[in-house]
Amino acid sequence: MSSFTKSTSFNRRALSSLSVESPRSTSSTAFNSPIGSAFASPRTFGGSPRPYTNRLKEISYLFQVLIVAGTLVSFLVIIAGGYLYVVPSLGYNGALQFNDTSVIINSKECDIFDGSWVVDASYPLYNASECPFVERGFNCLGNGRGHDEYLKWRWKPKHCNVPRFQVRDVLERLRGKRIVFVGDSMSRTQWESLICMLMTGLDDKRSVYEVNGNNITKRIRFLGVRFSSFNFTVEFYRSVFLVQPGKLLRWHAPKRVKSTLKLDVLDVINNEWSSADYLVFNTGQWWVPGKLFETGCYFQVGNSLRLGMSIPSAYKVALETWASWIETQIDPNKTRVLFRTFEPSHWSDHRSCNVTKYPTPDTQGRDRSIFSEMIKEVVKNMTVPVSVLDVTSMSAFRSDGHVGLWSDNPLVSDCSHWCLPGVPDIWNEILLFFLFRQQVP
Is residue 399 part of the annotated active site? The answer reads no
Q: Containing H/E element for 172?
A: helix 167-173
Is residue 417 part of the annotated active site? The answer reads yes
Q: Are strands 44-45 and 222-227 parallel, antiparallel or unpaired?
A: unpaired
Polymer length of the chain: 441
Sort 162 into a burial class: Cβ within 10 Å, 0-12 / 13-18 / 19+: buried
Using alpha carbons only, give the angle 115, 121, 126 rounded to the nearest 5 degrees.
Answer: 95
Asked if 156 contacts 115 with a C-beta cutoff of 8 angstroms, the reply is yes
Upstream peptide bond of 421 is cis (omega within 30 degrees of 0): yes
216/206 Cα distance (integer angstroms): 16
Q: Containing H/E element for 198?
A: helix 185-199
Is residue 185 part of the annotated active site? The answer reads yes
For residues 76-103, b (16+ Cβ closer than 10 Å) or e, as one string?
Answer: eeeeeeeeeeeeeeeeeeebeeeeeebb
Among residues 106, 103, 99, the alpha carbon closest in space to that of 156 is found at 103
Upstream peptide bond of 132 is cis (omega within 30 degrees of 0): no
Rg of the chain's alpha carbons, rounded to an integer?
34
Catalytic residue among 345, 372, 417, 425: 417
Instruction: Kindly give, in sequence order, each residue whose CB lies less than 8 Å from that of residue 352, ignoring residues fewer than 6 positions away.
Output: 413
Asked if 361 contacts 396 with a C-beta cutoff of 8 angstroms, the reply is no
Dihedral pair phi/psi, residue 323, rounded to 5°: -60, -40
Give 297's strand partners: 259
Catalytic residue among 267, 390, 400, 414: 414
Q: Are strands 153-157 and 178-183 parallel, antiparallel or unpaired?
A: unpaired
5/116 Cα distance (integer angstroms): 4
Catalytic residue among 22, 185, 369, 393: 185
What are the CA-CA distances from residue 49 to residues 20, 34, 38, 42, 59 (Å)? 18, 18, 15, 7, 17
Q: Which long-range contacts (CB under 8 A, 24 or more apart) does 15-23 make?
A: 15/65, 15/66, 15/69, 18/65, 20/58, 20/61, 20/62, 20/65, 22/54, 22/58
The residues annotated with a catalytic role in the active site are 185, 414, 417
